[in-house]
Structure 1
């Protein structure tokens, strides 16, 4: 375990982290670990951001992310904090990645085991399609391994710097790999080279929605999401909020001072550098650096005052969602933890055309998280005791447009979409009997919870090859001392990506302090104090 050399008698640099989502929790914990004086401010009543649970009476359900991927991100994070991931959360690996249904007779499970998935696709579609799936998995793995060290784990590159990084790390072979990852074509078009069955084309196109984007506009590089999921999907015992709570606890053990119900009103600047924040109640907190873990659009829209940088890039908002959290008994189709219910493959483009036009789709794809189900292939279903069905916790989700100013969804539109959603489940053979009316969350609710997001759940949408370089701001801003973290900045949305953004922000902040506080002892990564 690295030890941090104390900074006394001089005061440690003061850092304020705004927002206790995954990016903010990560940055705060890592900075405190290096001996900095860290205050973490959260406007809500508890940390977690989009990982905060939904309460339905006495029940608690995941309200945002439902599973964990890229476990190595958190193993490395907790190791840097002097502990281990397994000491704080219990994870269970899913054998079944997701259960898919188009009708009562068209169902397909994908597995963590490649050969099981190949066999399932062969029986569902054809041996030739299964062979093409194997080739797709190889391609998705290639895309991931090319971009992992040079893009995902690194600061936001330009096209030139990305090429240089890949060549430096992988040589001329890396340059060849970079040219083969199809950055200039859409995911949908590239998938057409692998899948001839329109249902499989539709299934793997849906991976773009994991980043809040349309498969018809997203770059083909997003096929790496399929590789990340097949590598391993983990369920967090007790729900995803446990991970946020564990990281908040670790941060506090490192010295982070967490304040909830503390809303930041504006950033304070002196002599061209950030010097603190002012809370909504007028309290001012001095700081030598600030990490903002919120939607970057909040800065350019002036929600944190006129001193916030205005030149940050961010593209158009990503997808939002309508969600329904409920307790219900189910029958017919046997649910797994992850379940996706598709409409006809021939109408898939119409779903995204409607969302792009600000409307709810008439034939939506429905995601159902059965939170009490495991992702194991051969485990007795928890909904049966002595032959009797018991209620279980469900979250149903339909992609929806972000809540554009002046154009919200009407109650009639939402009610019609809910009817279509239940109809889609019935058509696939799933019987649902609700214990009570479900708790509904609209894009407007997300917009109010996360300022300036417009209800978009994934920051800016990924549209075209330029999205990788220009849709999301970098962690370091033009305002000295201000850094960004979260799903709206590089490297992108999702729990592990947000954590990586927090790690990048913390490392860049330490580097900045080392260069600007030359007359002060500043703790550097690894626990070494520089004078």
Structure 2
């Protein structure tokens, strides 16, 4: 008799869980995905408005080849499941001094715009910065981001055989210090310093190496037709086509262990799901907190999940805007980044924070009419306690957010009430044991990226996927984590 296929239970239908489920089902395994939410996507969530669902999670899609490779790996085409539009303007940036700068999908266009914005010297500095970011990205893409379990020894060897990397990495400098040396115009240092927040860090505490994130964005930013949640829906359809089954509104409470290996997943309603393999696509800190049972509690050391990365205050709503002409991605900078990151380091809301706005209904070639959907993100600190956000905190955030935008001439009709706000404390409730952190472990420190947990845990049969695992936060990285998890599982099954 033929052996029955290995039974896999994936806890969490985020990008990492979906990615691993697709690959494992294609390899012939019996895969079931469960999620405590009613829909797939994890942090790629939405809020309902009269203009339609508005994104309330990630908004920036880069590194399209990562997603194309996932679909190609199972004989499918990304374009058959998701419609993507490449944005000509990557983002539009505003400063209080009246300066406005667009960056483009073309380096030449961006360089010309920088020159017009800040002068010929700034243009030369920008071109040099782009070359440096490209060299760093190219050097670390393979041995770091695409490696299943990068090691410090291997990376040290890689740098030793490419000594020019040491100068580019600026290993003894933080990102802010590196950027202020590269740009004589502090506004450009502030602009590229915000890329530290893409992985939940402060430019004052994150390594200079994170400047390479710019090259990922320079390669192209894509708008998902219908909103970012449609990407998760597309992956779910692909997974279903591969034979994956889904159960939503199902909360996992315990990973059962037998004979020293994962053997089943128990749900809050008493259901027991037998499993040869369990993939956990939640915050790895939940395991250490004992939220999946005592047997799984020691599988991920605390040093791999702490200290925590940034959280955020997120507004998702529909309104009619009045003021400056926005594109799909927009950034309104505060005067001094210290007024943003110093309070966050102290566990407080920014006194004056930079505000990012995704104008969901805008993009290349689109001029919306009437009410539009918007997502505004202001960085915030993670929260260690489980207290609810107070009405005072919410109203303070509302005042600081919309008064800041009004100072740029941007207003909304109507101005949203606090019901449309997600606070760090709300994120902490949505994602157990996360402390509201949206990016997993903090990226602060030169070797922080090596301290994240990888796909394998110390418990046989239990694997990790998602933004809290290697290679880190962001939808391309979370998707890659699913590939790493599937590869580790298939390798271990073959080895066994």
TM-score with structure 1 length normalisation? 0.89
Q: Which residue of 1 aligns with 2:317?
A: 326
Partner of 2:179: 191
Q: Tell me the distance in 2 between the aligned counterparts of 1:430 and 1:57.
A: 21
1:339 Cα deviation (Å)? 0.6
Would you say 1:427 and 2:407 are equivalent positions?
Answer: yes
Query: Who is 2:434 aligned against?
Result: 453
With over 3 angstroms needed to count, the CA separation of the structure-2 counterparts of 1:23 and 1:406, relative to structure 1, is closer
Identify which of 362, 385, 398 aligns with 2:378.
398
The reply on whether 1:373 has 2:362 as its aligned counterpart is yes
Match of 1:466 among 426, 430, 447: 447
Match of 1:41 in 2: 34
String of CA shifts for 1:44-64, please: whole Å, max 9, x gaps.
111111112221246211111
**Deviations, residues 290-333 of structure 1 (Å, cap 9, x unaligned):** 11000000001100000014242222111111111222112220
Distance 1:411 1:156 in 2: 44
**Secondary structure of residue in 2 paired with 1:295:** coil
Corresponding position of 2:102? 109
Tell me which residue corresponds to 2:471: 491
What's the counterpart of residue 127 of structure 1?
120
Post-superposition CA distance 1:459-503 (Å, at most 9, x none): 111011120212x11111111111100000100000000000000
Change (3 A) 1:406 1:63: closer
Corresponding residue number in structure 2 for 1:505:
485
SS in 1 for 2:181: coil
Please list the CA deviations of residues 145-168 of structure 1 after superposition, one character each: whole Å capped at 9, or x if unmatched: 01101110112322102234x37x
Once the two structures are TM-superposed, the CA of residue 443 in structure 1 deviates from its matched residue by 1.2
Does residue 292 in structure 1 map to residue 287 in structure 2? Answer: no
Deviates more, 1:312-321 or 1:429-438: 429-438
Question: What corresponds to 1:387 in structure 2?
Answer: none
In the TM superposition, 1:222-261 aligns within 5 A as 222-261=210-249
Counterpart in 1 of 2:495?
A: 515
Residues 184/435 of structure 1: CA separation in 2 closer, same or farther (3 Å cut): closer
Q: Compute the displacement of 1:411 (Å).
A: 2.4
SS of the counterpart of 2:435?
coil
1:440 aligned residue: 421
Offset of 1:368 from its aligned partner?
0.9
SS in 2 for 1:174: coil
1:360 corresponds to? 349
Select the residue among 311, 316, 333 that pairs with 1:342: 333
Tell me, in whole angstroms, the C-alpha distance in 2 between the residues paired with 1:492 and 1:323.
Answer: 21
- Give secondary structure in 1 for the equivalent of 2:62: coil
* Partner of residue 76 from structure 1, selected from 62, 69, 81: 69
Q: CA RMSD in A?
A: 1.7
Deviations 1:226-247 (A, max 9, x none): 1101110000111111111111
Tell me, which stretches of 5 or more residues in structure 1 are unaligned? 1-7, 384-389, 517-531
- SS of 1:503's equivalent in the other structure is helix
Displacement, 1:513?
1.0
1:260-294 Cα shifts (integer Å, max 9, x gaps): 11111111111111111111122211111111000
Q: In the superposition, relative to structure 1, how do residues 401 and 326 fare at CA in structure 2: closer, same or farther (>3 Å)?
A: same
Q: Structure 1 residues 173 and 245 mapped into 2: Cα distance closer, same or farther (>3 Å)?
A: same
Q: 2:305 aligns with which of 302, 309, 314?
A: 314
**1:519 alignment partner in structure 2:** none
Shift of 1:381: 2.8
Partner SS state of residue 325, structure 1: strand
Structure 1 counterpart SS, 2:90: strand
Residues 317, 402 of structure 1: 8 Å contact kept: yes
TM-score, with normalisation over the residues of structure 2?
Answer: 0.96
Q: Which residue of 2 aligns with 1:528?
A: none
CA offset digits 1:354-384 (Å, max 9, x no partner): 011111111111111111110x3xx46323x
Matched with 1:382 is: 368
Larger mean CA deviation between 104-113 and 251-260 belongs to 104-113
Kindly state the Cα deviation for residue 350 of structure 1 after the two structures are TM-superposed.
2.9
**Paired residue secondary structure (2:169):** coil
Is the Cα–Cα contact under 8 Å of residues 309 and 477 in structure 1 kept in the other structure? no
2-structure distance, mates of 1:316, 1:453: 11
Is 2:143 the partner of 1:150? yes
Greater alpha carbon shift after TM alignment, 220-229 vs 305-314 = 305-314
